[in-house]
Structure 1
Amino acid sequence: MAGSASSASSTHLPALQIGVPRGWFGVGARLGGQLGGRLGVGVEAWLEAERDQLALWLPVALGAGIVLWFVLPDPTAWEAAGLVAIAVALAGVALARHGRGARVVAVGGFAVAIGLGLIWWRAERVAHGVLAAPTIATFTARVERIEPLAARDLVRLRLAPLRVLAVPATRGPARPLPTLPAHIRVNLVDTDVPARLEPGAILQLSARLMPPPPPTVPGAYDYARTAWFDGVGATGRGFSPITILAGGGAGGVGLRQRLSQHIQASAGGGGVGGIAASLATGDQGGIPLADNDAMRRSGLAHLLSVSGLHITAAVGAVMLLVGRLLTLSPWIALRTRVPLIAAGAGALAAIGYTLLTGAEVPTIRSCVAALLVLVALALGRQALTLRLVAAGAIVVLLLYPEALAGPSFQLSFAAVAAIVSLNEHPLLRTWFGPREQSHLAKLARELASLLLTGIVVELALLPIALFHFHKAGIYGAVANIVAIPLTTFVTMPCEALALLFDTVGAGLPFWWLTARSLDLLLWIAHATAAIPGAVAPLPAMPGGAYGLMVAGGLWIALWRTRWRRLGAVPLLVGMVWSLATPAPDLLVTGDGRHVAIRTADGALALLRDRTGDYTADTLAENGGVSDLPVLLSEQRDARCSRDLCLARRMAGGRAWRVLATRSLYRVPTAELIAACAGVDIVISEHRLPRRCAPRWLRLDRPMLAQTGGVAIALASGAVRTVRHAGDAHPWIATPEDESVRRRWSGAMRSRSAPWEIGPPGAR
């Protein structure tokens, strides 16, 4: 029978092959082939028209692989993503002879795989020990770095511990001495810092240390990730006595710190001296918190970070000075290429400035871009292009792939790409290109160009600022019209001349001019920040919404044909998604000590009357409010004792009751169990008894150790957590207690995942 079936199939196959084209299947096949052919021709024509732009997508593909590693949870997923990217690339190689599209797919697939492998390799390469639990210890250590934070009266040290000497005595059996990580970060009060402290010195000190903290609540700053790539395994605060055992020098500080101290002393104290030091050395530790906040709220904070503006000004000034000095000699001017020599001097200035300011990511990016511009000028090529920006991005991603996840990389490259893309647009070149006109008309045209550029840059940076900082300045474009020329053409030249004339003791007049220009800059910052509505707050943005906006922005910026308009679709979808995401009604920190609940008027109320400024600011930012939080104990919908708070919140058409402990003292078990039965949510920094059974959710110490910080939108029942099950990134230290995992699933009274559950009334 099997042989008959096979024979029948072979007999009828030719008939089927002849008959199908005469029917509907044949028509469909022909139409599909025609449409596919036309689509292929259309794609090839489009890529041919955009061939000069294709290279710009190479760093985007490289970055996509890096993003995949950060987003996917574990090595299995990373391997699968890498294999898929390689498979796609190989398919493109196999079809490369059919056109440019296949070659683009091949290159993109390999770039994605390289990006994923690069960040994975980097994370493994910097692997180091992390402190297991908070501890207090007396130890010796070698000083690796000194960072004065003058505005906070602190000095931050990066230390390499050598030997643990003692830990505080406790009741019970003696504890073994802990093993400290290879590198730690410790803050010291100014008065506790010994004299003659310098890098390389050997110290003996005591400190309270803790593991690098994860985000306080979902969407907050993840210092644990930053510390992993920086090699820091613990952070904390040291206290006296602090003794230098060896290596203390007479100078006590390095060149960068000495220069920073000299500038602050010469320009004046407070914000003026701090900003002057920041412009020259990148040291922002001397800027008072009020001035720093005003710069951020006014959209001028980019002036404090040494980046493209500062590198460009330094390179331009050096080239101008060297060129003018060389042309003073007719022999040199006639026998050498003065512009080439000046460009070489500018390159040396860019490299030296980068090293002096600490070689941060924005500075490295700007230095690379400046060097590429100088090379292009030397070769007689157009300098400022998107290819230059792409080349700088590739260099930074190859050296520091983890930088892609930070706001510094994203803000700096987005700003430069927006400016260059805008100026490359044919319509803008027509409007703002050079022409014969009166001085007044030329000034008006240049001001309009500057204003338009500022608006475009602000729009490009707005999603990035909202995603990372949960707020953005509204009037930054207007403030930058005055602030950028003031800083570039007045402040920085005056400061450079002041430092130059200080070599002969004649820099005082230039320091006075520098200080007055910075006074004007701070006045602009404070005046702009004080305008009502100067800051737009937004709760923590979903990662998917941010990804859509970034993809749409890149599509618009990097293409040149009319297909670029399609980028508006993901951009608008991401914007709507972000704005439609409800602000959390309840925020709980990972240690359970701090809780913020939304009040009826939209403010946030804090559980504890004494909450540090950093925690309060973090909760306010991630809650989407610009005002300082209020106290829960002072609200009409809350009743608080020394140990407990019971709050009532209307959301989703019903009243929610939230119970939280607020002291180190334990509430009597019987009272606590009775209180739990009448509420929807219970929160505590302690381990709650098993019979404490709220109607919906229990967040106690074991549960929060598993989930980290929690954000809850009561109306929809959406729960977001800092930690996620199965996340195997190396800086994640998730407890492996299976009983806690079972309690988490049971605490939600639902078989769904914590982030998929609904409110009690929805079940």
Structure 2
Amino acid sequence: MTGAEVPTVRSCVAALLVLGGLAMGRDAVTLRLVATGALVVLFLWPEALVGPSFQMSFAAVTALVALAEHPRFRTFAAARDEGAFRRIARGLAVTLATGIAVELVLMPIALFHFHKAGLLGAFANLIAIPLTTFVVMPLEALALVLDVAGLGAPFWWLTQQALNLLLLLAHGVAASPMATLLAPTMGMGLFGITVVGLLWCLLWRTGWRWLGLAPVLIGVAVTFTAAPPDILITGDGRHVAVRTGKGMAILRDRAGDYVRDVLSESAGYDGELAAIADLPDARCSRDLCAVGVKDGNGRSWRLLFTRSTVLIERSDFARDCAAADIVVSDRGLPRWCHPRWMKIDRRLLARTGGLSITLAKGEVHTVHRVGDAHPWIVRPPRGSGRPKSQL
């Protein structure tokens, strides 16, 4: 009914192992359970290892199991003879602790794949989990049973109100300025170091486990302190985002929400994207747009973008190309267009994919990597290597 998605398979394997462990009188919730589920998924879909679904699903469960196996947490969460108020408070504290543990473990993975991480999910779960467990699910079960006699309508209405309350909570948390934390793109090597540190913390059971905090903290700190890119260019060359002194600006102000969200998240910018044509240092026509920006060192850069497919007079275009440091176009630029630093056109982007440029450091990062053999990547003809003068 739900499809063989990674979390579904993991949950199914875990449920079967838990039932088998309980039948044999064994402690069923262990890291071996997580490892077995991971092996089953990787045996069937080995490519799932690099996907966010596999990584976040198993990281969250591993964090929960590792926390549950900790002697102090197990002692604190164990049932005992106490008053109702203290029992409820203890349950909320356990829920909050597990939520915070999951949020912390998922943060590096979310930053790598989505350039943002949640901050308030653990606190929202204090309301969402009891509401779902003790209100929504019992009402749905009761409504299904009474539907046999045609009497389920009132309980479906109550279920709807409970779900509306859950959605109100979700929208309220999402609207908070502290709901998510944005960061620039995390490098592959930095992500690998962070994941190794996480696994070290989660898999060890002795004091050695805390040594893994060092690479985790280094990875997260470097990600948040890294200089965000100054220029982002999509793989087709149509959309360009430029960092200005007051935020970010986009070349085509009619770009859809998807393009805007991708560019904002990749730049670690949480705000509205202005139009490049509206910037004070911009000089734009229907076909071309030239703008001046400054990098982190205070150096001025001149950027030139094409905005249409209209053939531009050679004398004017050659002059503008020579005056620009970087020229970006979604079509093939002529050979006589010679900017001071980079010429980015359709031919170059076919080999590199989207680009991010940090002007102060002169760094250029590409989507396509050397040796990338994915079948959906269009490879350039043999002998048309990347011009060294362009990157």
Q: TM-score normalized by structure 1?
A: 0.50
- Mapping for residues 300-339 of structure 1, pairs under 5 Å: none
**Cα displacement (A) at 1:478:** 0.3
Letter of the structure 1 residue corresponding to residue 59 of structure 2:
A
**Does 2:273 align with 1:629?**
yes
8 Å contact kept, 2:48–2:54 = yes
- Mapping for residues 368-387 of structure 1, pairs under 5 Å: 368-387=13-32
Q: Which has the larger radius of gyration?
A: 1
SS in 2 for 1:686: coil
8 Å contact kept, 2:253–2:274 = no
Q: 1:498 to 1:359 in 2, by over 3 A?
A: farther
- Mapping for residues 37-116 of structure 1, pairs under 5 Å: none
SS in 1 for 2:18: helix
Rounded to whole Å, the distance in 2 between the matches of 1:403 and 1:667 is 48
8 Å contact kept, 1:604–1:629 = yes
Counterpart in the other structure of 2:286:
642
8 Å contact kept, 1:535–1:626 = no
**Does 2:245 align with 1:600?**
yes
Counterpart in the other structure of 1:564:
209
SS in 1 for 2:197: helix
Counterpart in the other structure of 2:309:
664
Counterpart in the other structure of 1:266:
none
**Does 2:110 align with 1:465?**
yes
Rounded to whole Å, the distance in 2 between the matches of 1:492 and 1:435 is 27
**Cα displacement (A) at 1:361:** 1.3
Rounded to whole Å, the distance in 1 between the matches of 2:307 and 2:329 is 8
**Cα displacement (A) at 1:473:** 2.0
- Mapping for residues 325-724 of structure 1, pairs under 5 Å: 356-601=1-246, 603-651=247-295, 652-724=297-369
**Cα displacement (A) at 1:536:** 0.8
- Mapping for residues 208-287 of structure 1, pairs under 5 Å: none
**Cα displacement (A) at 1:533:** 2.4
Q: What is the CA deviation profile of residues 713-746 of structure 1, one whole-angstrom value per residue up to 9, with x for unaligned ones?
A: 111111001112332233332212523x25x213
Counterpart in the other structure of 2:388:
745
Rounded to whole Å, the distance in 1 between the matches of 2:311 and 2:388 is 25
User: Which residue of 716, 719, 726 maps to 2:371?
Assistant: 726
8 Å contact kept, 1:585–1:714 = yes
SS in 2 for 1:746: coil
Counterpart in the other structure of 1:175:
none
Letter of the structure 1 residue corresponding to residue 263 of structure 2:
L
**Cα displacement (A) at 1:690:** 0.9
8 Å contact kept, 2:350–2:378 = no
Q: 1:370 to 1:421 in 2, by over 3 A?
A: same
Rounded to whole Å, the distance in 1 between the matches of 2:158 and 2:350 is 55
SS in 1 for 2:323: coil
8 Å contact kept, 1:669–1:689 = no
Letter of the structure 2 residue corresponding to residue 620 of structure 1:
S
The Cα RMSD (Å) is: 1.5
- Mapping for residues 78-227 of structure 1, pairs under 5 Å: none
Counterpart in the other structure of 1:34:
none
Rounded to whole Å, the distance in 1 between the matches of 2:259 and 2:104 is 29
**Cα displacement (A) at 1:711:** 0.4
**Cα displacement (A) at 1:598:** 0.7
Letter of the structure 1 residue corresponding to residue 103 of structure 2:
E
**Cα displacement (A) at 1:492:** 2.5
Rounded to whole Å, the distance in 2 between the matches of 1:445 and 1:468 is 35
**Cα displacement (A) at 1:437:** 2.1
Rounded to whole Å, the distance in 2 between the matches of 1:701 and 1:591 is 7
Rounded to whole Å, the distance in 1 between the matches of 2:39 and 2:178 is 38
Q: 1:472 to 1:357 in 2, by over 3 A?
A: same
User: How many correspondences in the alignment?
Assistant: 390
**Cα displacement (A) at 1:400:** 1.1
8 Å contact kept, 1:454–1:477 = yes
Q: What is the CA deviation profile of residues 244-292 of structure 1, one whole-angstrom value per residue up to 9, with x for unaligned ones?
A: xxxxxxxxxxxxxxxxxxxxxxxxxxxxxxxxxxxxxxxxxxxxxxxxx
Q: TM-score normalized by structure 2?
A: 0.96
Rounded to whole Å, the distance in 1 between the matches of 2:123 and 2:223 is 25
**Cα displacement (A) at 1:501:** 3.0
Letter of the structure 2 residue corresponding to residue 747 of structure 1:
Q
Rounded to whole Å, the distance in 2 between the matches of 1:584 and 1:514 is 47
Structure 1 unaligned runs (5+)?
1-355, 749-763
Rounded to whole Å, the distance in 1 between the matches of 2:239 and 2:282 is 16
Rounded to whole Å, the distance in 2 between the matches of 1:650 and 1:746 is 22
SS in 2 for 1:745: coil
Rounded to whole Å, the distance in 1 between the matches of 2:207 and 2:179 is 35
**Cα displacement (A) at 1:682:** 0.3
Letter of the structure 2 residue corresponding to residue 701 of structure 1:
R
**Cα displacement (A) at 1:500:** 3.6
Structure 2 unaligned runs (5+)?
none
**Cα displacement (A) at 1:630:** 1.5
Runs of 4 or more, structure 1, over 4 Å off, are: none
SS in 1 for 2:388: helix
8 Å contact kept, 2:229–2:267 = yes
Rounded to whole Å, the distance in 2 between the matches of 1:435 and 1:732 is 59
**Cα displacement (A) at 1:369:** 0.6
Q: What is the CA deviation profile of residues 340-370 of structure 1, one whole-angstrom value per residue up to 9, with x for unaligned ones?
A: xxxxxxxxxxxxxxxx112221111111111
| Overall identity of the aligned pairs, in % | 55
Letter of the structure 1 residue corresponding to residue 31 of structure 2:
L
8 Å contact kept, 1:544–1:574 = no
8 Å contact kept, 1:548–1:571 = yes
Q: What is the CA deviation profile of residues 487-528 of structure 1, one whole-angstrom value per residue up to 9, with x for unaligned ones?
A: 223223322332343343222122112101111111111211
Q: 1:711 to 1:392 in 2, by over 3 A?
A: same
8 Å contact kept, 2:128–2:166 = yes
